[in-house]
Amino acid sequence: MSDELLLKSKKINETEKLYTDLQQILLKQPGPEFIQDLNKTKTLIKNKDEKIKCLIAELNMRECQTNEDSNRVEKMSADLREIQMKYYTLKSKGQKMSSQGSTCPLLPTVLTNQKKYCGGGFTMLVAPSRNCWSLESNLK
């Protein structure tokens, strides 16, 4: 009988030890509030990550657009320099010709009092209006 009591007391001690170990493990585990906070934080991080990706894509688009605009500005600057060079060469030629006493014009003269015909025989005395409202008023 004493052997049985010793065995039962050992079993009770072992189960108590397992119970205390289990309690220790459960105390180390996070509670339900912590898990809810963790889930909220995960969703916030996911949303911020998506927003950052969108902002990065928009930034890349703006940089591309800026590069295109700067290329266009460079091209226009080059065109402007070319036009200025042509203008100044024509101006210097005109000054040279006027200083030499030559009255020959650089550009051909256009007589405005003569009838002009273009293509299908349409008269070009008065340039037609390009206003769409004038076309509608002529149709009425």
Residue 37: both structure tokens together = 């906070």
**pLDDT score of 12:** 95
* The pTM of the whole model exceeds 0.95: no
Q: What does the pLDDT read at residue 117?
A: 59
Residue 32: its pLDDT value, please?
Answer: 86
**What pLDDT shows up at residue 96?**
87
Q: Which two tokens stand for residue 3?
A: 């052997």
All residue ranges of the chain with pLDDT < 70 are 101-140
pLDDT on residue 95: 87
- Position 129 scores a pLDDT of 58
CB 126 within 8 A of CB 110: no
Place of tokens 């493990």: 25
At 128 the pLDDT is 55
